[in-house]
Structure 1
C-alpha cells in the first residue's frame, strides 16, 4: 500500500471509528479490488484513486442510519457489484448480509473477499426480482442498494422480499426528490431523508412500511 493510500485508510478509520482489525480487513478488500479491477470492471476507472471516500466511506455512512430496533432477519444488498454498500456494512459488523448480484464474475470476486476477510456474509448469484417471485428468498429485515435503479423501479425489484417490518436504505443522487415524487404515484411508504457525507447532492433515503397503493406488504 502506498503512502497516499495509508493516509486515506487512516482518515477513513477516524471518520467511521473502526478498530485496527476492521481497518486491516478494509485494506485487504482494497488490495483485492484493485487487483481484480484489472480483470473485470468492478468500479468506474476514474474512482479507483478515491476508493476510500467514494466507495468505502460512502457505503459505511449507512451504519448510522440503520434502526436500533431492526428485526432479526436477512439483510439484502441488491445489485451488490463490488460490494457497495453491503460488504462494507458486513465488515463493519452488520450480520445476516446477503450480497446479491446477477454478474457471476462479480460474485466470484465477492466470494473471494468474504473468504479472505472472514466476514459474515453470503454471496448469491441471482437476478432480482425473477427468482424472488418463486418465493426462494425469505422476507428481509433490511434492504440496501446503491446506484441500482430509480426509486420506482427499485421498489418493483425489491418488493417481493418486503414485509410490513422491512426497512429499506438507499443511496441516491441529485434526482432523489423527483424519484420520490414518481414513486409515490404507485407506492406508499414512510420516509426519512439524510444528507450524504460524501456527495454534495447525495441523499440517503430510509423507507419503512412500504406497500403498493391499494395493497399492503405481508
Structure 2
C-alpha cells in the first residue's frame, strides 16, 4: 500500500496502529478522519438516499433501471464512467484497465470467502505488473449482490469486518485519508466523484489534481453533488 505520511493527526495512527493488530485498526481510522474532517464524517448515511436517487436517474439514461440494493447501485455506478488509459505507479506505465479491473479495485464481490485469496492474488499481480500498489478496498461476500452475508474492508491484504455495504464504503474511504494513501489507480475517478459528492469533501490538492479536473469527473460531480 502506497503511503504518504504528513505531519498531522494521522501520525498517531502511524505510531500506535500497528500495535493494535488488524482488528484494532478500524477505530483509529475513523477517529483520525473525524478529527480532521468533522463535517464530512457522517455524510454517507445522511445523504445516501439523495445521492442514490441521482445515480439511479443517470443510470436510467443508459438503460439500467433495475437496482435492488446498495451494492448493486455501487456496482453499476461504474457504468457512468468511460474506459480510459491511466498512468501511474513507480514504473509509470500507461494502462487501460477493463471494467472488471476497475470494479475489483472499487468494490470486490465474491460468492464465498474461500475465493478471496485467489482474487487478492490476481489483484496483486496486476498491480505489480503496472508498478502500482494494492490500496484499501471494500469486500462483499454472498451469492449475489442482493444476497450478501458479510462485509469487509481489506487493508494490507487483511479483511476487517464491518456491518454493511455502506460501512464498507465509508471505512474504505476514510482509510485513504487516515493512512495518507492515494485512491486505487484503476478507480481514482470513481473515488474522486464520491469524495466530492457523497462525502462532500473538498481538499486543497483538488485544484491541481488532474483527475478532479477531468471533464467527465466534473460533469458527474455537478450532477450528483448534494
TM-score (norm: length of structure 2): 0.30
Q: Which structure has the higher relative contact order (CA within 8 Å, separation 6+)?
A: 2
